[in-house]
């Protein structure tokens, strides 16, 4: 039995080793072939991709129409330049992420939705910024939205009906003061500007030149009280320079004297 076992080991071991070598060679050849194929594919990736897109376009998957919804203020030419889409290009080759990013760089655009609708349509839905006021910095005006952000590319001369906002760091608080002033529509219709004073309170300027000084605390109640008094006594139609509402439950007025002393205001 020992000799039999020894003989089997002697004859079978070289055979097993040979099979292992053949197996290793075959595996090596397979991986070399695979790596070479992948390498060639990578080298010609752009060419292959281009050819495949041409095939899809010839099959009808090409851009024939661009639909735009929500465009009100965004100039058509500005949007077209940002999108940079050409009729007839393969629709599957359009990078929607890049298209979305380019459109969002437009000053008027707050956000956009870009959709690929096969076989031949790109749909762009815009959510534009809503202008709420004109921010004045020295003699320059900029259009701002509800966040106080400047709407780049907007023409302020087309929005002269909006309230002018002035003062250091006033822009982020513009929406808040405007919401207060609009609670009294009749009185608000006579407002042309609001100045942020000492980064804590507002002066409101009427179209007739009158200045309304609102308190830092509870300005909405002071504004409502002024509106009630105005409805009863037409106080804003009088020849006054200032109506001061900073003292609770009091109303202090300054007559419209041509030359008045100047002092610091807070």
Angle between the N-to-C axes of helices 174-181 and 219-233, in degrees from 0 to 180, rounded to the nearest 10: 30
β-pairing, 109-117 vs 121-128, is antiparallel
Distance from C-alpha of 233 to C-alpha of 206, rounded to nearest angstrom:
17
pLDDT value of residue 258:
67
Q: Residue 28, CB half-sphere, CA atoms under 13 Å: how many?
A: 6
Least confident of 28-42, 121-135, 221-235, 249-263: 28-42
Each residue's pLDDT tens digit, 92-109: 999 999 999 999 999 999
Rounded to whole angstroms, how far apart are CA atoms 258 and 146?
Answer: 37
Identify the three-state secondary structure at position 250: coil
Q: At 213, phi and psi to the nearest 5?
A: -100, 110
* Among the listed residues 105, 152, 147, 153, the one whose alpha carbon sits nearest the alpha carbon of residue 126: 105
Percent of the chain with pLDDT over 90: 70
* Rounded distance between C-alpha atoms, residue 108 and residue 229, angstroms: 41
Q: What is the pLDDT of residue 36?
A: 46
* 141: β partners: 136
Instruction: State yes or no: pLDDT of 71 exceeds 90.
Output: yes
Please state the rounded mean pLDDT for residues 236-245. 96
3-state secondary structure labels for all residues of 164-192: EEECCCCHHHHHHHHHHHCCCHHHHCCEE
- Please name the fold of domain 133-255: Rossmann fold (3.40.50)
- What share of the chain in percent tops pLDDT 70? 78
Taking alpha carbons only, the member of 208, 185, 205 closest to residue 197 is 205
Alpha carbons 212 and 203: distance in angstroms, whole number: 6
**Do strands 163-166 and 133-137 pair parallel, antiparallel, or not at all (unpaired)?**
parallel
7-21 tens-digit pLDDT: 222 233 344 543 454
Main-chain phi, psi angles of 105, to 5 degrees: -80, -15
Among 178, 180, 172, CA closest to 217: 180
Reported as type and span, the H/E element at residue 127 is strand 121-128
- pLDDT at 30 (0 to 100): 45
Strands 140-144 and 163-166: unpaired
- Per residue, what are the HEC states of 188-239? HCCEEEEEEECCCEEEEEECCCCEEECCCCCHHHHHHHHHHHHHHHCHHHCC
For 159-214, the pLDDT digits (tens) are 999 999 999 999 999 999 999 999 999 999 999 999 999 999 999 999 999 999 99
Residue 49 has pLDDT above 60, yes or no: yes
The pLDDT, as a whole number, for residue 55 is: 76
Domain 60-128 coded CATH 1.25.10.10: no
| Res 57 pLDDT > 70 | no
Structure-token pair, residue 248: 């609770």
Distance CA 252, CA 256 (A): 13
Selection from 149, 142, 156 nearest residue 128 by Cα: 149
Binned at pLDDT 50, 70 and 90, residue 47 comes out as confident
Residue 157 carries which DSSP code?
A: G
Domain positions in the chain = 2-43, 60-128, 133-255
- Mean pLDDT over the full length of the chain: 84
Predicted pLDDT at 139: 84
Q: What is the pTM (predicted TM-score) of this model? A: 0.75
Distance of CA 116 to the CA centre of its chain: 21
The average pLDDT across 258-262 equals 54
């Amino acid at each position: 039995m020992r000799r039999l076992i020894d003989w089997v080991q002697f004859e079978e071991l070289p055979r097993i080793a040979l099979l292992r070598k053949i197996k290793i060679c075959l595996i090596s050849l397979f991986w070399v072939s695979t790596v070479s194929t992948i390498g060639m594919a990578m080298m010609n990736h752009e060419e292959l991709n281009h050819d495949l897109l041409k095939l899809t376009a010839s099959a009808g998957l090409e851009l024939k129409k661009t639909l735009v919804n929500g465009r009100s203020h965004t100039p058509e030419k500005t949007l077209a330049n940002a999108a940079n889409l050409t009729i007839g290009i393969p629709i599957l080759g359009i990078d929607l992420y890049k298209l979305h990013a380019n459109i969002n760089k437009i000053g008027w655009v707050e956000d956009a939705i870009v959709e690929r609708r096969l076989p031949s349509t790109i749909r762009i839905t815009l959510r534009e910024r809503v202008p709420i006021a004109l921010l004045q910095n020295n003699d320059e005006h900029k259009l701002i939205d509800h966040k106080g952000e400047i709407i780049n590319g907007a023409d302020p001369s087309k929005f002269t009906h909006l309230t002018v906002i002035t003062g250091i760091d006033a822009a982020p608080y513009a929406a808040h003061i405007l919401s207060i002033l609009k609670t009294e529509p009749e009185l608000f219709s006579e407002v042309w500007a609001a100045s942020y004073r000492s980064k804590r309170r507002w002066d409101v300027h009427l179209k007739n030149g009158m200045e309304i000084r609102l308190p830092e605390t509870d300005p909405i109640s002071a504004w409502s009280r002024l509106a009630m008094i105005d409805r009863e006594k037409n106080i804003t139609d009088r020849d006054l320079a200032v109506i001061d509402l900073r003292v609770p439950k009091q109303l202090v007025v300054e007559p419209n004297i041509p030359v008045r002393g100047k002092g610091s205001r807070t």
